[in-house]
Chain A
């Protein structure tokens, strides 16, 4: 086809320029996204290493490998690295950055310089966060609750850490802002809001939350920063400040942050479900609306993190009631995904395996969230392992698994290489088994009363902890293998065809890897999720059948 001829004529974005400077100062969204991706994968291994240290320490009651102090630093670093460096930027900043303009058929994001500067903000923030490890490590938990985090003897580590979080926050805001404007202003003619792939809807909703919620994190950690440097006292009870106010500030951001993690994951899963069932997503509009409504509702529910913090009963009641509302769009999405499977032509390639794991684990994560939204049961379960298991199901079992699915799905597109399919399938099952083995026992020990962030525990919980640790190692090994084979395939993988999965969105019309401005010639906008014209063509992947001349244009849904 002519497009292939053009693709070979124009160099792809790896080849167009060379050298360190061409990467360090690049304005190309794909290169920036790729640099993010490597940073995030590195952080993932780092955060995973801390997780394994935590789990190893908990193998036995009492001291196993580390003292209580060191253990506290492990779980703090695990949380901070995983949340601020891996999951929040994971899908939007890395994969979103690469795929959003291509899915829009645009040459780049709206503000390429801002994009590069937000990458460097991320790097600086990450460096500050890592600097705090050298400076003695933070042991406050990733939540930095006052007044514990006001302890001056720990200022040396807390100051770089909160400063790092501040920078990471602004990196996230700028990425979000960029995406919002790109979606608004760079949709090509013929792509209305309801012709956008669901991934873009999800990224749009995510960006909305990033722009509206993250500034509050910025000011909160800034205040924590001045508490340490200037002793300003807004959160310090000895100076008349209110430590619970910190929790309000913190959760005003950090609850939407949970949705910043999960909503893009939902977008990715929607794409995977339709591509690998070879049929349009069931209930497109409901999914699109539920992404946006999740984004808006996420601002109304932060108080459910504070049911036992001394919050007023009135606030507890209101927040509990509002919390249930987020369950509804989530439930809609799950039902729609399952509905998409119906009468499909389901291909169990690696991305789809991750998508199916996502559905199951997100269902568990969502349903266990109900226990925590109900006042009477949350009082019992709050700050126990039940909560730990619940949010790992959502953040890791769902968000990170979707990230892996997306990574495998688009890997051939932006690297131009295939990963080893069989190994990847085995690993995805390893992730699923390891993950569930790690966290299912935690529900039980949580509801039986095992508090979280405990270095030592009662012997009755030993068996659960041991199961959990074994699961964590299965999970850790699987993830490590994933990162390894991806790195190898980056250089040595089989050359990828233009459309290896038969996707219908615009990125599959771009060459693999894409050229500097993504499309050598303007892409044609096709009906969204229309699989009729796409056929399998051996090693060339999937190709678009030319429409017979004079055929009537397809009706849009």
Chain B
């Protein structure tokens, strides 16, 4: 069963029912999250162009999310099936977004409702 990678971590220990996170990992994760928060704010002050700025912000957010999931949420030490669940949920959400975007070209709210109707019937 590929449930646990705990053996690689000298400081972490399993306490019988579940893995216990070490203080070092907790504080380290927390520090990294705080630093990344500062970086993400600073990154918006620099103009890389709207899409690149967005990409940077999202990449940082993704890194932060991964840190939270792996260490705060113990997924790194946890059962493989829980990872499958998270990834499955994200895939379903991605699917939802992707298919909905496929249809986004149809949205036309630029229509000036009243004006257009007048033009149309003139």
Are B106's CB and A311's CB within 8 A?
yes
Q: What residues of chain B lie closer than 8 Å to A245, measured between beta carbons?
A: 100, 107
Those 3 A-B pairs whose CB atoms lie nearest each other, nearest first: A315-B102, A315-B103, A248-B100
Cross-chain contact A212 with B89 (CB below 8 angstroms): yes
Asked if A127 lies at the interface with its beta carbon under 8 angstroms from chain B, I say no
| Closest chain A residue, CB of each to CB of B89 | A212
Residue of B88, B92, B103 touching A248 (CB-CB under 8 A): B103
Verify B106–A212 contact, CB threshold 8 A: no
Is the C-beta of B116 less than 8 angstroms from some C-beta in chain A?
Answer: no
Set B88, B89, B95, B113: member contacting A300, Cβ < 8 A: B95
Say yes or no: B109 contacts A237, CB within 8 Å.
yes
Could you tell me the distance between the alpha carbons of A315 and B107 in the complex, rounded to whole angstroms? 13
Cβ of A456 within 8 Å of any chain B Cβ, yes or no, is: no
- B105 interfacial by beta-carbon distance below 8 Å: yes
- The number of chain A residues with a CB under 8 A from chain B is 22
Interface flags for A495-537 (1: CB within 8 Å of B; 0: not) read: 0000000000000000000000000000000000000000000
A306 and chain B: residue at smallest CB distance: B103
Interface members, chain B 28-62 (any A CB < 8 Å)? none
Verify B105–A312 contact, CB threshold 8 A: yes
A216 close to B (CB within 8 Å)? yes
| Given A237-B109, A242-B107, A242-B109: A314 touches B102 (CB 8 Å cut-off) | yes
Residues of B close to A184: CB separation below 8 A: 81
Inter-chain CA distance A184–B92, complex, in Å, is 21
Interface string of A264-302 (1 = CB under 8 A from B): 000000000000000000000000000000000001101
- B109 → chain A, closest Cβ, in Å? 5
Contact with B along A240-261 (1 / 0, CB 8 A): 1010110010001000000000
- Smallest beta-carbon distance B94→chain A, Å: 11
Chain A residues within an 8 Å CB radius of B96: 216, 252
Q: Is the CB of B92 within 8 A of A312?
A: no
Q: Does A303 contact B (CB under 8 A)?
A: yes
Q: Is A244 a contact partner of B109 (Cβ separation < 8 A)?
A: no
Nearest neighbor of A319 in chain B, beta-carbon distance:
B99
- Inter-chain CA distance A302–B102, complex, in Å, is 13
- The answer on a CB contact under 8 Å between A299 and B102 is no
Closest B residue, CB atoms, query A244: B106
Where the two chains meet, the residues of B that have a C-beta atom closer than 8 Å to any C-beta of A are 81, 88-89, 92, 95-96, 99-100, 102-103, 105-107, 109, 113
| B106–A240 touching, CB < 8 Å | no
Given the interface pairs A212-B89, A212-B92, A216-B96, the reply to whether A311 lies near B109 with Cβ below 8 Å is no
Q: Which residues of A contact B106 (CB under 8 A)?
A: 244, 310-312
CB pairs A–B below 8 angstroms (19 shown): A212-B88, A216-B96, A237-B109, A242-B107, A244-B103, A244-B106, A244-B107, A248-B100, A252-B96, A299-B92, A300-B95, A300-B99, A303-B99, A303-B103, A311-B103, A311-B106, A312-B102, A312-B105, A315-B102
Check if A318 is an interface residue, CB within 8 A of chain B.
Answer: yes
Q: Please tell me if the beta carbons of A312 and B103 are within 8 angstroms of each other in the complex.
A: yes
Contacts of A300 in B (CB 8 A): 95, 99
Distance of A238 Cα from B113 Cα, bound (Å):
9
Q: How far is the CA of A314 from the CA of B104 in the complex (A)?
A: 11
Chain B residues with CB under 8 Å of A314's CB are 102
In whole angstroms, how far apart are the Cα atoms of A514 and B99 in the complex? 47
Question: Once bound together, how far apart are the Cα atoms of A315 and B98, in whole Å?
Answer: 10
Residue of A nearest to B107 (CB): A242
* Contact flags A197-224 to B (C-beta < 8 A → 1, else 0): 0000000000000001000100000000
Q: Which chain B residues lie closer than 8 Å to A212 at the CB level?
A: 88-89, 92
Contacts of B81 in A (CB 8 A): 184
Q: In the docked arrangement, what's the CA distance between A184 and B102, Å?
A: 36
Cβ of B99 and Cβ of A315 under 8 Å apart?
yes
Distance from A360 Cβ to chain B, minimum over Cβ atoms (Å) = 34
Q: Tell me, in angstroms, the Cα distance from A252 to B96 when the chains sit together.
A: 7
User: Given contacts A244-B103, A252-B96, A312-B103, could you give 8 more A-B pairs where the C-beta distance is less than 8 Å?
Assistant: A184-B81, A245-B107, A311-B103, A312-B105, A315-B99, A315-B102, A318-B102, A319-B99
Q: What is the bound-complex CA distance between A299 and B113, given in angstroms?
A: 35
Contacts of B102 in A (CB 8 A): 312, 314-315, 318
A413 and B99 alpha carbons, distance in the complex (Å): 45
Could you tell me the distance in whole angstroms from the C-beta of B78 to the nearest C-beta in chain A? Answer: 14
A72 CB to closest chain B CB, in angstroms?
27
**Complex Cα distance A49/B113, Å?**
43
In whole Å, how far is B112's beta carbon from the nearest beta carbon of chain A? Answer: 12
Indicate if the CB atoms of A299 and B103 lie closer than 8 Å. no
Contacts of B95 in A (CB 8 A): 299-300
Within the complex, the shortest CB–CB distance from A343 to chain B, in Å, comes to 40
Nearest chain A CB to B117 CB, angstrom units: 14
Q: How far is the CB of B90 from chain A (nearest CB, A)?
A: 11
- B109 cross-chain contacts in A, Cβ below 8 A: 237, 240, 242
- Best-surrounded residue of A184, A311, A315, A319 (most CB of chain B within 10 A): A315
Q: How far is the CB of B87 from chain A (nearest CB, A)?
A: 13
- In the assembled complex, the CB of B85 is this many whole angstroms from the nearest CB of chain A, namely 9
Nearest residue (CB) in A for B95 is A299
Q: Which chain A positions have C-beta within 8 A of B105?
A: 312
Closest to A208 in B: B88
Q: How far is the CA of A237 from the CA of B81 in the complex (A)?
A: 43
In the complex, which residue of chain A has the Cβ closest to the Cβ of B92?
Answer: A212
Task: Give chain B residues whose Cβ lies under 8 Å from the Cβ of A319.
Answer: 99
